[in-house]
Structure 1
Amino acid sequence: MARRITGRISTAVLAAVLVMPVAALAHHGWRWTAGENISLTGLITAVRLGNPHGLVAVDVEGEPWTVEVGQPWRNERAGLTDADFAIGREIRVEGEPDAAASRRVIKAERLWFDGQRHELYPERD
């Protein structure tokens, strides 16, 4: 009996390990985006910066959006610091939204704080 349970657990763990990279690949990169840019402006309500990329929650006229920003090195290269992402601060974002219109997620290409533009992906221009 214990051997059968151990075998089932091993099979479940193996299946999870094999599926996780596929899910990660489906999300990272640009394949999940709509393929054209939009622009939105709102107030930052929450922030999680770090790897593999930062996530910023933004209130856009009462609609919650999740903004995917760059990795720490990409943000730094764009002239951004963690302090730029202060809760309550206004942010303007230009980038590609999720291909599923019901999901309010945008992968940022450019950010503006106080009118100053920050290019996260200059190689995409």
Structure 2
Amino acid sequence: MLSSRMSIAGLLGLLLVSGAYAHHGWSWAEADQIELSGTIREISMAPPHPTLRVATENDGVWRVELGNPRLTERSGFVEGVAKVGDPIVALGNRSLDRNEKRMKAVRITVAGKVFDIYPERIKTN
């Protein structure tokens, strides 16, 4: 009985770890980076990842995910530095699912101010 409980607990632990890895990894995103320009429509600084909703001129509204709250804060992007209506350019990796307007940003530029979220991942300057 104890052995089967330990096996079940181990399996559940493995599922939780692999789920967290999949969520926090980059496997859902393309390797190539794109630049997305638009206007901020919504800002959320809530965990697990601060996000922006960005309206583009020709491609609708995108979800732009930033780093975890601490990483995002370290870049200088904190509550109050941007507001709805600000122009933004996001550099990052878009979703592999082309039906999904979603990107993981490595750098954002808001009203001319640059925030490097993942400086080690930036492929262009």
The TM-score bracket by the shorter chain reads 0.7 to 0.9
Instruction: Name the structure with the higher helix share.
Output: 1
Give 1:106 shift.
Answer: 0.4
1:41 aligns with 2:37: yes
1:12-57 CA-partner distances (Å, limit 9, x unpaired): xxxx998666554333221100111000111111122122111111
Q: Point out where structure 1 has 5 or more consecutive residues left out of the alignment.
A: 1-15
Could you tell me whether the CA contact under 8 Å between 1:57 and 1:67 is conserved in 2?
yes
Structure label with greater radius of gyration: 1
Looking at structure 1, the residues matched to 41 and 13 of structure 2 have their Cα atoms a distance apart, in angstroms, of 33
Looking at structure 2, the residues matched to 17 and 63 of structure 1 have their Cα atoms a distance apart, in angstroms, of 39
1:37-79 CA-partner distances (Å, limit 9, x unpaired): 0001111111221221111111011601000012222122112
Secondary structure of the residue aligned to 2:80 is helix
Secondary structure of the residue aligned to 2:81 is helix
Partner of 2:52: 56
Q: CA RMSD in A?
A: 2.2
Partner of 2:82: 85
Partner of 2:26: 30
Query: Normalized against structure 2, the TM-score is what?
Result: 0.76
Could you tell me whether the CA contact under 8 Å between 1:44 and 1:90 is conserved in 2?
yes
Query: Normalized against structure 1, the TM-score is what?
Result: 0.76
1:76 aligns with 2:73: yes
Write the letter of the residue equivalent to 1:103: E
Write the letter of the residue equivalent to 2:24: H
Give 1:116 shift.
Answer: 2.1
Secondary structure of the residue aligned to 1:103 is coil
Q: Point out where structure 2 has 5 or more consecutive residues left out of the alignment.
A: 1-11
> Hey, which bits of structure 1, 4+ residues long, moved more than 6 A?
16-20
